[in-house]
């Protein structure tokens, strides 16, 4: 009984090694240094035709889905405040503070309103891009 279990384990190990030999992998650190043609040759992909459906299923079984996770853990208000960490925005905020000390309130208000507008537009664009990436991710899993 023990002998047959050992044979089964050995067969599984050999099968995994065979699958790994048949499918070559390429770390991104190496792939970025190669031409498209070299990368396709190493990964055994025809750039004109792509992979057939059976090969896609086989590669997904070994490597998993080709996706990434989008973490929504950071609260919305915190993401908005992160827009103000930009060095240019901080410089403008500093100039608004200096304007207040110099009693140039109209300049301080103008600078502050401009900062709020720019930060809000940047925040909205980032949010839209996240929604687009989530939609693409959901479309790929269909």
Using alpha carbons, list the distances in angstroms from residue 80 to 10, 41, 68, 90, 134.
Answer: 55, 45, 23, 14, 19
Give the per-residue pLDDT at 67.
72
Which residues of the chain fall below pLDDT 70?
1-23, 68-72, 140-142
Give the model confidence (pLDDT) of 42-60 as tens digits. 888 888 888 888 888 888 8
CA distance 14 to 11: 5
Give the per-residue pLDDT at 7.
59
Any alpha helices (H) in the chain, and if so which ranges?
2-22, 28-31, 36-42, 53-63, 76-82, 87-101, 105-140
- The DSSP call for residue 94 is H
Nearest to 80 by CA among 23, 37, 25, 118: 118
User: pTM value?
Assistant: 0.45
36 φ, ψ to 5°? -60, -45
Give the per-residue pLDDT at 42.
82
């Amino acid at each position: 009984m023990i002998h047959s279990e050992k044979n089964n384990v050995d067969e599984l190990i050999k099968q995994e090694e065979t699958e790994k030999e048949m499918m070559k992998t390429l770390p991104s650190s190496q792939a970025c240094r190669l031409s498209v043609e070299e990368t396709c040759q190493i990964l055994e992909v025809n750039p004109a035709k792509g992979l057939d459906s059976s090969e896609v299923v086989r590669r997904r079984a070994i490597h998993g889905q080709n996706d990434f996770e989008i973490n929504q853990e950071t609260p919305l208000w915190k993401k908005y405040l992160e827009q103000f960490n930009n060095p240019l925005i901080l410089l403008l905020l500093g100039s608004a503070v200096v304007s207040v000390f110099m009693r140039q309130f109209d300049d301080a208000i103008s600078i502050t309103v401009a900062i709020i507008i720019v930060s809000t537009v940047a925040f909205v664009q980032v949010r839209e891009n996240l929604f687009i990436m989530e939609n693409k991710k959901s479309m790929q899993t269909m």
